[in-house]
Structure 1
């Protein structure tokens, strides 16, 4: 069945800049929340008496529901309107974030993290659907996406930096104040600053079989990969969810080929530019996330640095992200998204290679052992994310904006899980960074051929 949907946008403000700022703050907060427990996780374990397996699940819970439900979240945004889905997601996300710091036990905190991921899976694609209505002209939307692409890596950086500072100065529970405040502000300001989007034609079905298979498959496969941090690949704890997830995802592909109105139309992923963009998002997210995790552990264990000092080591990384993010839009406008993405991936690959060579060696000073690699990774990652965001959403019609947002965010969430689990089998942190650098370099060569 073919449905034609017409989006209508009613602005409450003549200038979209304020609306973009609000949506950008929301997107950054979603990724901030994903990274906010990374540094204080040992303190949480000591306070609640958790073992390693429980800590791993607590850390991964948000990302599991976030990644697993994104495709359904995108369909809901396209079906019911971006702003309506955004409001519903913010209510769930904000309520779960408010519950988390009040918990006294593991079970309640784990449920709150799952709840945050559920809300985030509704918010992320809805925000992109509203962004599409905020910038209806293709050229303006392309410029907006060039900036939007770098917001996620900036949010992850802020999550790692601020969580270390907060846990050192006060309790880790205060990390949840950020998502609560942003969700509340977005709920209040959204009706004033954001356009209302509504479907004007027949609604698409929800494709519940596809939604169930995709959600269960992504969640179980991701859970199995996450557990490789603590269990052997051949253990039942890893193999059962991983293989079950793969079987379910295979079923999802078969169902989507026959569905009259599939959750993820197969043709959507056949576009070469979109494929390169999604791959770039996955690998760049993997490189930055992997560097943060491995270097944070190396600085605290190998050099004996405190959590606060470790967070401070990444301040230049954040500054480089901001500078490169501002430059990414003009670079894409002048050289094209494909070339900008290739240059960003290549620069990030060099940065990771330097970090693999010297960044984890405690005998090498920070100023020339760690800092150069961090700066190159940040600069390259910001440009690659920006260019990849443009490639992944180029040519997407307004009525598919939620789908595009769901797919883009799924690539960003699944990439680090899959790549990180794979490269950790190499046995050393340096080898893991080097392998990710090689993958980025290969993708950079492929991206350079994208017009």
Structure 2
């Protein structure tokens, strides 16, 4: 039964991560079909990522307050329904809106998958192996999205990159009803911190919007400063609400006193700022510079998929010999080397000389990194706060990706080489911060 639950959680996580990247290779087709301008097109990716990131804290807490099976099913329903409407959209506004609602469904669903996993497997070797499978599936979802998106876009239509979620979601819901135990009735009698969730979402969205505005208006522009100011105020208010007024805080105070949770989520934020934007820039490079079609671009990402899965599956064995901190540092340095290599790419680079080698290096590093980092951040957590911890970890990764994408889009206006050098620098910072993390089994108080 535990293995069946693991694969259910992995299938749902695959769907969530898939939809971060599945639209990348379809962006030119979407732009042509619906008449997007270049700035608006970014929000097909960014709108999902932003709402996903902003509401992950709430989504994680929902699983603690209302029950894991119930919240898992809510997330599936919302995600599948918005995929249906988005796949039928005829205007840019409707598509962006439905991508945002998809992000909300994903924010409910993703923490539930990790919470189900961490509460089904006791801490130790068994949980580490389960996390490695979950990480491998997540890596596969991110990279396979490009291949699946390419196949669906070229053989059917870009619309099927969203419509395909409907039957998958239905099968997952039926399976969840059969496998997951019913939730205790007491889980529905606690109040929800909706104000905290709203403030977190407004704050994150405003900060990313401000970074995006800097591309056209500069860092001293009125719109840039206004957005950043709104973000700072909202996030400050969120801190006050969480520490003083929230009846059931999205971030329980005891959770944030754990050193590994604080430092580990900073590391996860930086990792997200590296790995999520990577798909966006490489997809555009393959299509705009190498003139690949959607399917060829998806196939071009296969080495990233294979290397990421291999790294994730190797992680538990390597971790037994090196420990979590050393593996986090080594894998971050490996990714940094891959990004530095990728920065040498140019208009005259072919696939073999410009993409394949860096892909194997940086994706292997990515696969090796996430398992020990997840094990470190989620071990030693009170089961009553497992959802909040899962939501925080997922939020850190997605916020990092959204802010990183917005900042790097501005940097890419000068040179794509600068983007990959910046990513290499962020990975090097992750390696340094790994030294401050405690081992997963240590008391973190």
Please report the TM-score for the alignment, with normalisation by the length of structure 1: 0.89
Kept in 2, the 8 Å contact 1:133–1:195? The answer is no
Q: 1:187 aligns with which of 166, 173, 197?
A: 173
What is the match of residue 260 of structure 2? 273
Q: Identify the residue that residue 67 of structure 2 maps to in structure 1.
A: 81
Pick from 260, 263, 266 the counterpart of residue 250 of structure 2.
263
Kindly state the Cα deviation for residue 237 of structure 1 after the two structures are TM-superposed: 4.2
Q: Structure 1 residues 404 and 178, CA, compared in 2 at 3 Å: closer, same or farther?
A: farther
Question: C-alpha distance in 1, partners of 2:159/2:224?
Answer: 30
Q: Give the aligned CA root-mean-square deviation in angstroms.
A: 2.4
Are the structure 2 counterparts of residues 232 and 196 from structure 1 closer, same or farther at C-alpha, using a change threshold of 3 Å? farther
The structure 2 residue matched to 1:399, chosen from 374, 378, 384, is 384
Moved more, 373-382 or 207-216: 207-216
DSSP 3-state at the match of 1:362: coil
TM-aligned CA deviation for residue 407 of structure 1: 0.5
Contact 2:263 2:436 in 1 (8 A): no
Q: Structure 2 residue aligned with 1:437, among 419, 424, 440? A: 424
Report deviation, 1:203: 5.1
Gaps of 5+ in 2: 440-445
Provide Cα deviations, 1:162-214, integer angstroms capped at 9, x if missing partner: 21232222210111133223211110100222234437689543234323322
**Match for residue 235 of structure 2?**
249
Aligned length: 435
Report what 2:83 is aligned to: 97
Match runs of 1:30-429 below 5 Å: 30-198=16-184, 204-228=190-214, 232-259=218-245, 261-356=248-343, 358=344, 360-426=345-411, 427-429=414-416
Stretch deviating more after TM superposition (225-234 or 393-402): 225-234
> Distance between the aligned counterparts of 1:21 and 1:198, measured in 2?
23
SS in structure 1 at match of 2:164: helix
Relative to 1, partners in 2 of residues 1:319 and 1:436: Cα closer, same or farther, differing over 3 Å? Answer: same
Contact between 1:213 and 1:251, CA under 8 Å: does it hold in 2?
A: yes
Q: Could you list the per-position Cα deviations for residues 112-171 of structure 1 after superposition, in whole angstroms to 9, with x for gaps in the alignment?
A: 222211211111112222223322455533432233234333211111222123222221
CA distance in 2 between partners of 1:289 and 1:210 (Å): 26
Contact 1:28 1:154 in 2 (8 A): yes
The 1:109–1:301 alpha-carbon spacing in structure 2 relative to 1, beyond 3 Å, is closer
Contact 1:153/1:285 (8 A) holds in 2 = no
SS of aligned partner of 1:370: helix
Of 291-300 and 234-243, deviating more is 234-243
| Counterparts of 2:377 and 2:12, CA distance in 1 | 20
Does the C-alpha gap of structure 1 residues 139 and 322 become closer, same or farther in structure 2, counting only changes over 3 Å?
Answer: closer
Give, in angstroms, the shift of residue 70 of structure 1: 1.2
Q: Give the CA deviation at 1:110.
A: 2.6
